Structure 1
């Protein structure tokens, strides 16, 4: 079943992103590659991680951008159009401390009510790791450099800039926890 969810996620993400947002599709593929690289640390949840990494930015697709908040738009799309697994939908909705950005956008209650956080800290951290160690072009980077890149693109005073500055310590802590968990796993 693991390969099936990963293949389905890749088809959905490619269909929604590759034609309209080719750079976002390249980034998505890079995030999914990170998930494959570190997924062994999650055991049975490895395929769920890869699927979530592949779909985490699907809400950027122009036809899906209803609220202009991609975690919420993507999660609603996966739930409503695809009847996707609830854990997958909740991971997409809450990836990379989305609740903090939702708060800045006045969408915190909506996100938290519709898509409560998963109670799998390592799984949630690992999706943060995959997302925040990948550049806009899909290449590997550090979390610190990714945060700096986001700030330079959006600006300090934008909603995204304020969110990413607030989330940066948590992002770095998640990345450190994942790196430690991966290092502790036998290969």
Structure 2
């Protein structure tokens, strides 16, 4: 579904493919269902697809589309809230819509998806969370709603990525 919906957006498709690869790498060490995390990773940016984009807020548009298509509710919720999307929803005046339609559950899969998304660049390259945040601000420009969201959400995004990195490091150390 992601490949088809994002066919007109090759850079976005490269990003989601790399996020999905990353999801497969981290799911096992984190004790998560690989299929769930991989599916959410493939679909997290589907709301950018022109036929799906209604509000211009891709997490909400993508989640609505997936819900209508009958996707697994856990995947839909992960897409709706990926990478602390509620902060951007607040900037756009859509937080109530997001939270009423897709109640947030503070779970490890949300953190893992944020980690995968925020350590993968727009072309699929791996990068640090700090470099990713800079890249997003530069791509959108200082006055864009996405840049404002990234600036507000930066502390929680960095904390999330560091928490997952710590769990991954502990998992590697434990397996030795």
Same fold (TM over 0.5): yes
Question: Corresponding residue for 1:7?
Answer: none
Is the CA contact (8 Å cut-off) linking 2:30 and 2:167 kept in structure 1?
A: no
Which has the larger displacement, 155-164 or 63-72?
Answer: 155-164
- Structure 1 partner of 2:10: 22
Q: 1:41 aligns with which of 11, 19, 29?
A: 29
Q: Normalization by structure 2: what TM-score? A: 0.95
CA distance in 1, matches of 2:134, 2:59: 21
Say how many residue pairs are matched: 173
Tell me, yes or no, if structure 1 residue 75 matches structure 2 residue 56.
Answer: no
Select which of 120, 124, 130 maps to 1:144.
130
Q: Is the 8 A contact 2:14 2:124 kept in 1?
A: yes
Q: What does 1:100-139 align with in structure 2 at a 5 Å threshold?
A: 100-120=87-107, 122-139=108-125
Mapping of residues 145-164 of structure 1, within 5 Å = 145-164=131-150
The whole-number CA distance in structure 2 between the counterparts of 1:43 and 1:135 is 25
RMSD over aligned CA atoms reads 1.1
Structure 1 residue ranges without an equivalent (≥5): 1-11
Cα pair 1:91 1:118 within 8 Å, conserved: no
Displacement of 1:64 after TM fit? 0.2
Range with bigger deviation, 42-51 or 167-176: 42-51
- State the alpha-carbon separation in 1 of the partners of residues 155 and 22 from structure 2: 21
Q: Is contact 1:87–1:118 with CA below 8 Å preserved after alignment? A: no
Tell me the distance in 2 between the aligned counterparts of 1:16 and 1:42.
29
**Could you report, residue by residue, the CA deviation over 1:111-169 in whole angstroms, capped at 9, with x for unpaired residues?**
0000011231x211110000000110011001000000011111222111111001111
TM-score by length of 1: 0.89
Runs of 4+ in structure 1 deviating by more than 4 angstroms, as ranges, are none
